[in-house]
Chains A and B, each alone.
Chain A
Amino acid sequence: MTETNLRSIDVEDFAVREHRSLWLDAWHRLTSNRTAMIGLVVVVIFILSAVLAHFLWDYDPKTDLNYSVKLLAPQLTTSEGSSLIHIFGTDKLGRDIFRRVVHGGWNSLRVGLVAVSISLVIGSILGLLSGFFEYIEMNAIESLVLMLLLGVIIGALPAWIARQPFQIVGYGVLGAGSVLLKQYTDIKKRYRFVIFTMAGALMGVVFGIFSAPLVALVCGILGLAIGILLANPISGNLFSNIVMRIMDIILSFPSYLLAIAIVAFLGPGLEKGMLAIGFVGIPIYARLARSAVLSVSQKEYVLAANAVGESHPRILFRHILPNILSPIIVQATMGLANAILSAAALGFLGLGAVPPEPEWGAMLGESYKYLSSGAWWAVLFPGLAIMLSVLGFNLLGDGLRDALDPKIRI
């Protein structure tokens, strides 16, 4: 910035620093971090090998069998009984471990991506909304939508008991009605309680009668309770509190055990495993998003957006969301690592992936009993695969955290 030729004092012509977008800056910081680059390379290898293997290298696990070469140690040449070179050896059914490890990568990648997507999307939305409405008042439309949804969700219970799905609509309307009532009339709180309690009970009884008098009674009581809950539109603060407490409840279960319980409930299969791992991860993103939103919404530029008159959706998507992405991206990267690990854990226990699907944890589970008889390769290579991929994602995640949120020093 050495001036060589200043015509006059026209010094507002240049900005202070050179033009670089924030993301580009972050990318430069990332690439100059050696361990992060190692992580990135490992991750890229992992993704490429999984994708290429899945699409270019055919493999049918059900027909893959060759007893004649079972538990063969790693070879560099072909051997009798098999025309393939088993560089990682074979497992108890004579299947080539190298091939299974590479194809297992595809399954791990899928699980990681789907599970993290579920956690991220649902968790972030919940966290975003909780954080946002904790201090900002909900306007009429938002309140309406919330109460409608609430009515529908809670109303599902008596509807299910009475086997009258139409009830759900009724409770939804009740919820919506609560907001409309508050908006357009001036009825006092206690009267509203009375009205809604009676309406709820009535609805429960009426719909329950169609099944049996006992059901009517139960539904009536439920309806009463629902009426009390819906009587007053829930404030943003209360909504945020409720959501976060539910997240706390989910978090209070040890995550692996909860995932196992869900898989046990849903049945076997890699897809169910994805759902379970995804569900267990929701609270982490919810908390992260909420705390990020809370700190961002205190900033003056959000206040400025309010002063300009921007609507809530615009503030959420233009101001808040772009500024909370950094911690979420970092968490997602680490979360992928975690998801792969969890999938492996489920597979090891025989849940999640259904044999003969190649899955690293399942491979470990099947082969560790042969360890004592000396077949180390059947355990080492799947284990290494898990370790390296998790390590890669963790290194990358650490590097991303430093790149996206550098500590400024004077």
Chain B
Amino acid sequence: MDEHIQVRDMKPLLKINDLKTQFHTEDGIVNAVNGITYDMNPGEVLGVVGESGCGKSVHALSIMRLIQIPPGEIANGEIWFNGQDLLKLSDNDIRKIRGRDIAMVFQDPMSSLNPVYTVGFQIVEALKLHKNMRTKEAREKAADLLALVGIPEARKRLDNYPHQFSGGMRQRAMIAMALSCDPKLLIADEPTTALDVTIQAQIIDLVIKLQEELGMAVMWITHDLGIVAEMVHKINVMYAGFIVERGNVRDIYKGTLHPYTKGLLGSLPSIDEAPGTKLISIPGLPPDLVCLPKGCPFYARCVYREDRCKYERPSLEKADSNGHLVACWRWKENLTEGVK
């Protein structure tokens, strides 16, 4: 995977500024996303990594303005895309961008594809809506798209229903639908989590090829640190609605700075570890998003914590000039496991 970020022009494609998303529930306000700031360049592949409840999916839905407004609320922030703040657009305008300039692929293709319409119909519909094509033209394009994503006998399968596809094929069909309008940004939210390992490899391979061919930016959201190692340029590590570390792939894996990221990487067994190695587990549980702790969100589970961490929340700061950012009071000390 080519690590150099393809820089077509220095202007970022997507610029997110202090995004905050909340949900109003009967238990209180759930602070799902707590002020994240980052940007993506055209053609860049970004991995957004974190466990359940970290806010990675919610932030993606916020970009697409797909958050259900009550009970959800985008409380703060700006999302600059193509010179427009997506959060300030009207419903009509955001609908023009959704599906055309930014496309999304979800985890469960069975519930994202409408079971009562054929796959071809759904792709054609998107094409007619966004590109004003006529049905015949759209069908041709749809068949080409299915072939592009590697579905054999593409023309025949246009008239198949989603349940007639296998899991991997459905996901490919979803990708075809997402690509139909040549988006500049493809957001993939855990697209392979529900798939078998060999099928997952196929899909990852496909997305890498498509990205190289079409040059679009890809945001790959997942909890699997293994997947992103081989396909992304940059990684955002999220925890409790915050970005706790951000940087190039190599920096994140080889020069890990944040204790959470270290813990995550340590809890993964590696395929060539020595026998008898114990996994390093992060004790405890993620914090309650309704009452976030005052200081660092990772305080309760961090083995390197000190008093300052309990009361003051660290913000993302530059660790080097290569774009490696980390939110920790002690990152400079270059802590290793067992040292306290």
Q: Chain A interface (Cβ within 8 Å of chain B)?
A: 1-3, 6, 9, 11-12, 16, 409-410
Contact = CB atoms under 8 A, between A and B. Distances in A.
B285 interface: yes
B285 A11 contact: yes
B283 A1 contact: no
B284 interface: yes
Contacts of B25: 409
Contacts of B299: 3
A9 B284 contact: yes
B316 interface: no
Nearest to A9: B283
A12 B285 CA distance: 8
A11 B284 contact: yes
Contacts of A11: 283-285, 300-301
Contacts of B285: 11, 16
A36 to B, nearest CB: 16
A6 B303 CA distance: 12
Interface stretch (B40-48, B89-97, B268-276, B287-295): B287-295
B83 interface: no
B71 interface: yes
Nearest to B71: A409
A32 to B, nearest CB: 9
B291 A9 contact: no
Contacts of A9: 283-284, 300-301, 303
B301 A1 contact: no
Contacts of A1: 287-288, 290-291
B300 A3 contact: yes
Interface string B11-25: 000000000000101
A335 to B, nearest CB: 30
A410 B58 CA distance: 10
Nearest to B303: A9
A3 B283 contact: no
A2 B291 contact: yes
Contacts of A6: 300
Contacts of A12: 284
Given A9-B301, A11-B300, A409-B71, A2 B293 contact: yes
Nearest to A6: B300
19 contacts: A1-B287, A1-B288, A1-B290, A1-B291, A2-B291, A2-B294, A3-B299, A9-B284, A9-B300, A9-B301, A9-B303, A11-B284, A11-B285, A11-B300, A11-B301, A16-B285, A409-B25, A409-B71, A410-B23
Contacts of A16: 285, 288
Interface of B: 23, 25, 71, 283-285, 287-288, 290-291, 293-294, 299-301, 303
Nearest to B27: A17
B30 to A, nearest CB: 9
Nearest to A16: B285
Nearest to B282: A9
A243 B248 CA distance: 66
Contacts of B300: 3, 6, 9, 11
A410 B30 CA distance: 10
Nearest to B25: A409
Given A9-B303, A11-B300, A16-B285, 15 more contacts: A1-B287, A1-B290, A2-B293, A2-B294, A3-B293, A3-B299, A9-B283, A9-B284, A9-B301, A11-B284, A11-B301, A12-B284, A409-B25, A409-B71, A410-B23
A204 B291 CA distance: 78
A410 B291 CA distance: 17
A14 to B, nearest CB: 9
A9 B284 CA distance: 7
B259 to A, nearest CB: 12
Task: Kindly list the 4 A-B residue pairs having the minimum CB-CB distance in the complex, ordered from nearest.
Answer: A11-B284, A9-B283, A1-B288, A3-B300
A383 B303 CA distance: 72
Q: By CB atoms of chain A within 10 A, which of B284, B288, B299, B303 has the most? A: B284
Contacts of A410: 23
A409 B25 CA distance: 9
B308 to A, nearest CB: 15
A9 B303 CA distance: 8
Most chain A beta-carbon contacts within 10 A, residue among B285, B291, B294, B301: B285
Nearest to B286: A16
A409 B300 CA distance: 27
Contacts of B303: 9
Nearest to A32: B26
A3 B303 CA distance: 15
B58 to A, nearest CB: 9
A3 B285 CA distance: 12
A118 to B, nearest CB: 39
Contacts of B284: 9, 11-12
A6 B305 CA distance: 11
B108 to A, nearest CB: 14
Nearest to A15: B285
A409 B70 CA distance: 11
A63 B102 CA distance: 83
Contacts of B283: 9, 11
A400 B69 CA distance: 27
A12 B281 CA distance: 14
Contacts of A3: 293, 299-300
A2 B296 CA distance: 12
A340 B293 CA distance: 55
A11 B298 CA distance: 13
Nearest to A406: B26
Contacts of B301: 9, 11
Nearest to A8: B283
A224 to B, nearest CB: 48
A128 B91 CA distance: 50
A180 B300 CA distance: 64
A245 B269 CA distance: 55
A195 B283 CA distance: 69
A2 B300 CA distance: 10
A139 B299 CA distance: 56
A21 to B, nearest CB: 17
A9 B23 CA distance: 29
B312 to A, nearest CB: 15
A6 B307 CA distance: 11
Contacts of B23: 410
